[in-house]
Structure 1
């Protein structure tokens, strides 16, 4: 079982106007235009163009011809669950995450979740701890150095969001229920190296087998769309 994880660095000075957005659908264009900050608009535009480009390459389609839908939410059954290709039994699953300066796209043959985010400021960690599972909280609190605690929290939170996105619940599921210090049952969660300012993880709905190497992630740098 293999997943691909693609990183894209996004310069804060890049403008959404620099890209051809004809591949985006009406909803994506409207969403991009709704951002007040130009940097947020550019980040969203780059992220969704990257997702369409990568999916189209794998499927032999044109980026603008891809149609997306949503699975039912596992929490309430409404149609706001995990994003999927709007075709019966999608041949490829995906997850998209973007944060200041970074885009992450994960592709896999089974449901997958990806998360990338900036490391929190050390002084903010105490206020964030209640959102963790007790086991996660203890692991973060073990770091006496504030910078180490911030790094530990960032790693755990990226793993947690990747897993919840893979489930399709997102933050609609109580974040204290799952201990992402290890793989949840039936899932493999891997940390991805992405520099000193960010944390990233990919969660794959496939158990980590003891008889074979862990799930291998192809992590190149997507330098152009």
Structure 2
């Protein structure tokens, strides 16, 4: 049974995962088709549905894609990356209600036409952080204020262009240089 309704979604998924395998292959010296993936233990419940990991390597990675944007992040520490399209105003308004109170206040302080962009920025930061933790949206969305760095984590907005917001979260106690490499569009 095919899990994708639209061919474009199937192609996007295939491109994103092929890109991930190609990047990890180059970094680990393992052929793309020989890479084996597993799931780490969930930090919330201990179940086998935590972050995706390489079975035989200590390399940490994260993958995110949306529409025509694919991001892959790799580090020696836990890492999360996320890219989000800027939502319609009513979607941003509805979803902002579940965020941390300080995040909601930042969105509400933005001019009405800027609120969807403000929401997308915070949501990308939140998802990157939650991916890095390994909990994903299984953790209470309002639990953490991601407007800045969090203890033990560096959160960085990524420049991806109009119509998107993207962020990177890296588990590291001190600021680090973050390099962004551009690739081909999807």
TM-score range normalised by the length of the shorter chain = over 0.9
Give the gaps of 5 or more residues in structure 1: 1-29
Structure 1 match to 2:15: 46
Q: Aligned to 2:44, which of 71, 75, 78?
A: 75
Structure 1 match to 2:24: 55
Structure 2 match to 1:108: 75
Contact 1:192–1:202 at 8 Å: present in 2 too? yes
Contact 1:123–1:146 at 8 Å: present in 2 too? no
The two structures have a TM-score, normalised by structure 2, of: 0.95
Q: Does 1:217 align with 2:183?
A: no
Structure 1 match to 2:91: 124
Mark the structure with the bigger radius of gyration: 1
Q: Aligned to 1:178, which of 144, 163, 167?
A: 144
Partner SS, residue 127 of structure 1: helix
Q: How many residues align?
A: 186
Give the gaps of 5 or more residues in structure 2: none
Structure 2 match to 1:168: 134
Q: Aligned to 1:137, which of 92, 104, 108?
A: 104
Distance 2:138 2:121 in 1: 20
Distance 1:150 1:100 in 2: 17
Which runs of structure 1 show a deviation greater than 6 angstroms over 4 or more consecutive aligned residues?
none
Q: Does 1:99 align with 2:66?
A: yes
1:180-217 deviations in whole A, cap 9, x for unaligned? 0111100001000000100100100002x3xxxx4222
Distance 1:36 1:68 in 2: 25
Partner SS, residue 131 of structure 1: coil
The two structures have a TM-score, normalised by structure 1, of: 0.79
Return the structure number with greater relative CO, CA threshold 8 A, min gap 6.
1
Partner SS, residue 132 of structure 1: coil
